[in-house]
Structure 1
Amino acid sequence: MRITNDIRYIGVNDHKVDLFEGQYKVKNGISYNSYVILDEKTAVMDTVDANFGQAWLNNLKEVMGDRTPDYLVIHHMEPDHSANIANFMELYPDTTVVSSAKAFAMMKQFFGTDFADHQMVIKEGSTLELGEHTLHFVAAPMVHWPEVMVSYDSKDKVLFSADGFGKFGALDVDEEWADEARRYFIGIVGKYGAPVQTLLKKAATLDIRMICPLHGPVLSENLGYYLNLYDTWSSYRPELEGIVIAYASVYGNTKKAASCLAEELSNRGADVKLYDLARCDMSEAVADAFRYSKLVLGSLTYNGEIFPPVRNFIHELTERNYQNRTVAFIENGTWAPTATRIMKKMLEDSKNLTLLDAGIHIKSAMNETNMEELDALADELTK
């Protein structure tokens, strides 16, 4: 695939993977992206997952022809991008490996060698001259590992963004960018909003015409749309006014309350998303909780605690710095309801949350008082 006159795509699509990073469902697979810059000297930008080494090397040979690479640039040492460094160096032993000092330390851990005789250690402000193309390196620690660098090609005005601006989904699948990019960002990078904000400030000083990430499509049009979404996600601001109701239920009574609330909110014109946390894709529920401005958590009291799927969901939120939202609660308990108190306690260290006093307090099954509470909560959430 031709990216520009001198930049070619040599990545691969993975439709065999069922769980990315062992936890995220990827029904449309994922891509592992790698690029080649063809100039007086040639630079290969990252490798791919271990399962696709030969396919990647074949792609590389097809693009390179009789030439041999001068540089292998490693932006990120996570194995889905670095697994074929040793295989590459066995095939092209005279290549110079270009990466950060922290990346070379990780390289030795992964491969038992850091290719000391073929190293070029780069840092913030380093450059690599290829001929007409010059790569300018920008440190991006904790986006989302500490060794990460991104690079900017000043000729074609391309940002090689490592995991930044990536998404789930293979490149041979046509789907909207935002939903799978949001799920990818919140799940994988979401904890590191502050480092992403730092990187965005650095990127704002560059004339970027194209973004080449390590997952997902090359972005070449309407870049402001993608940059604005990244700014929103990394600053933990809601994208949309709306309400996520996330609950779990054993005998259906908590589910009934959540469903009735969703109906009442919809009748009032609210944008509502309803998730059964015991059955849904947790990463989708988490992503929507960050997408929308308000959240209702519903749980029964279980072993003096809250129901495990709800506890896990709240942990997923707080681990990713959930903040700047309004939260309400539905609780159920037959003899000693404690769910609301426990859910509030789990959120007590989260920044700038408005925890509503209005809520639904069920004892076993919904009654007339609960319907009045539901009506009042719907009013409070939509006023």
Structure 2
Amino acid sequence: MQCVRKVTEDLYWVGANDKRLALFENIHPIPRGTSYNSYVLLDEKNVLFDTADWSVCRQFIENVEYVLADRTLDYMVINHMEPDHGASIEEILLRYPKVKIICTAKATMMMNQFGFPVKNIQEVKEGDTMSFGKHEVTFVAAPMVHWPEAMVTFDTTAGVLFSADAFGSFGSLDGKLFADEVNFDRDWIDDARRYYTNIVGKYGPQVQKLLKKAGGLDIKYICPLHGPVWRKDIGYFLEKYDKWSKYEPEEQGVLIAYASMYGNTESAAHILATKLCEKGMTNIALYDVSCTHVSYLISEAFKYSHMALLSVTYNLKIFPVMQNFIEDMAALNLQKRVVGVVENGSWAPQAGSLIAEELDKMKEMTVLNEQMTILSSLNDATYDQLDDLAESIIESMK
């Protein structure tokens, strides 16, 4: 049975939700599942915008067939060739063999790489336009947001931006297609941030270019390939993307991330959090990196202005899960943060200096001078040092 929703007078959402998938891209936990969004435009020429993941192909095909009814499918626009959106291309070709594919030259290359029997292709580039009847669209290149073949399509007639993987979010829609049908700031923003920072975060400069292009468009709807469709308060989400892609923190606050073996470094993290709260800084997120997936840590690192990284020394190195977190920060281009560093060691503490070296390789990262060392366990001196570190963090916010 079909499960569709009307977006505008002529546009229908024909995607599907997957609540069984545990890991997005087989790496990021998605406890609320995900949506795969696809759209059909009914006009003199009928158009399908992107397809869906193989896991939801049956529902997707039923939705497309229901909306088209006895109409033919004239065009299929491929904004993004990643398999969670392109896997069902061949199924569409089998059912609608006369459909013409509209995509970039790089997308054609990738379809051939994935083994799709594509022949009827119209390649487009930045600034090209097409008319489907009442609706006219323009194509905007979006390379490395977050694949090199990506583009977005703007329906100039209805003000609809088909934004590919930009402006998406983790999470199953559960019937609520539009962002204004949920409390987005309460229930969705964390998933949207974690989606952006881990999937697209490395490519901030490319996202900035796309935002500048979008600024010249009269956007009334944003139709992403994951997550809710935007038709109200679009500026709210554009502002988030602007901050994230400039690597500017959303909030003044502190992410405390600790790697502890026997509880002493963990105690230091809790004492630091307590000291910060006593001094008036209560906007704190505290995580044990050993039992927190790194995608959550990355999301919080993008959110807050400050970090405190506390790690034991392990085999004369940084504790492996902390090392992984720091490497992910670097890989995703995180920058412009103030960081306090605490190390622990029983005979050769080195984690602190090694963490500082890693942070030094990133852009505009400030390591506070109050880097401190715990020798095995806490004492009165380290307690006072944690108080000094808390004071230093708060002073740096001024």
Shift of residue 347, structure 1, vs aligned partner: 1.4
Secondary structure at the aligned position of 1:208 is classed as coil
Q: In structure 1, which of residues 292, 302, 308 is the aligned counterpart of residue 304 of structure 2?
A: 292
Match of 1:353 among 333, 349, 365: 365
- Report the counterpart of residue 223 of structure 1 in structure 2: 234
Does 1:47 find its partner at 2:51? yes
For the residue of structure 2 that corresponds to 1:98, the secondary structure is strand
Moved more, 142-151 or 280-289: 280-289
2:179 corresponding residue in structure 1: none
- 1:102-139, Cα deviation, whole Å (9 max, x unpaired): 000000010253x22x1110110111210010110000
Q: Are positions 1:213 and 2:245 aligned together?
A: no
Give the match's secondary structure for 1:145.
Answer: coil
- Aligned to 1:358, the other structure's residue is in SS state coil
Report percent identity of matched pairs. Answer: 46
* Contact 1:76/1:103 (8 A) holds in 2: yes
Which residue of structure 1 aligns with residue 161 of structure 2?
A: 159
TM-score (norm 1): 0.98
3-state SS in 2 of match to 1:132: coil
User: 2:313 is paired with a residue of what secondary structure?
Assistant: strand
Q: For the residues of structure 2 that align with 1:269 and 1:289, how far apart are their CA atoms? A: 21
Q: Does the CA-based 8 Å contact 2:313-2:349 persist in structure 1?
A: yes
Structure 2 residue 15 is matched with structure 1 residue 11: yes
Task: Summarize deviations over 1:191-245 as a string: whole Å, max 9, x none.
Answer: 0000000000000000001100000010110111000000000000010000011
State which drifts further: 264-273 or 240-249: 264-273
| Other structure's SS at 1:347 match | helix
Deviations 1:319-350 (A, max 9, x none): 11111110110100100110111101111221
Deviations 1:245-296 (A, max 9, x none): 1011000000010110011111212111101000113211111111000001
Q: Does 1:255 align with 2:266?
A: yes
Q: 2-side partners of 1:106 and 1:72: how far apart?
A: 16
**Paired position in structure 2 for 1:180:** 191
Offset at residue 359 of structure 1 (A): 2.9
Separation of aligned partners in 1, 2:248 and 2:125: 31
Picking from 120, 132, 141, the partner of 1:139 is 141
Provide the rounded CA distance (Å) in 2 between the counterparts of 1:166 and 1:94: 31
Pairwise mapping of residues 210-359 of structure 1 onto structure 2 (< 5 A)? 210-270=221-281, 271-359=283-371
Inter-partner Cα distance in structure 2 for 1:52 and 1:222: 30
CA–CA distance in structure 2, aligned partners of residues 24 and 217 of structure 1:
19
**Alpha-carbon separation, structure 2, partners of 1:349 and 1:361:** 22
Deviation of the 1:54 alpha carbon: 1.6
Q: CA–CA distance in 2 between the matches of 1:157 and 1:302? A: 55
Which residue number corresponds to residue 95 of structure 2?
91
Query: Take 1:286 and 1:80, find their aligned partners in 2: how far apart are those partners?
Result: 23
Pairing 1:27-176 to 2, within 5 Å after superposition: 27-113=31-117, 115-116=118-119, 118-172=120-174, 176=187
- Give the Cα separation in 2 of the matches to 1:302 and 1:313: 15
Maintained 8 Å contact 1:75/1:150: yes
For residues 303-324 of structure 1, give each alpha carbon's deviation from its aligned partner in whole angstroms, at most 9, with x where no partner exists: 0101011000001111111111
Structure 2, unmatched stretches of 5+, are 177-181
- Tell me the amino acid that sits aligned with residue 20 of structure 1: F
Q: Which amino acid aligns with 2:218?
A: D
> Does the aligned pair in 1 maintain the 2:90–2:116 contact within 8 Å?
no
Q: Structure 2 counterpart of 1:332, which letter?
A: N
| 3-state SS of 1:120 partner | strand
CA distance in 2, matches of 1:326, 1:203: 31
Which whole-Å CA distance do the structure 2 matches of 1:12 and 1:110 have between them?
22
Secondary structure of the residue aligned to 2:307 is strand
Aligned mates of 2:39, 2:68 — CA distance in 1: 11
Q: Are 1:359 and 1:373, in contact at CA under 8 Å, matched by a contact in 2?
A: no
SS of equivalent residue, structure 2 residue 243? helix
Contact 1:359/1:374 (8 A) holds in 2: no
Tell me if the contact between 2:14 and 2:64 (Cα under 8 Å) persists in the aligned partners: yes
**Alpha-carbon distance in 2 for matches of 1:184, 1:382:** 29
State the match for 1:26 in structure 2.
30
CA distance in 2, matches of 1:375, 1:268: 10
Q: Partner amino acid for 1:74?
A: I
Provide the residue aligned with 2:374 in structure 1.
Answer: 362
Distance 2:385 2:60 in 1: 59
CA distance in 2, matches of 1:106, 1:368: 61
**CA distance, structure 2, for counterparts of residue 363 and residue 143 of structure 1:** 45
Deviation track 1:113-172 (CA, whole Å, cap 9, x = no partner) reads: 3x22x1110110111210010110000000000000100001110100000000000101
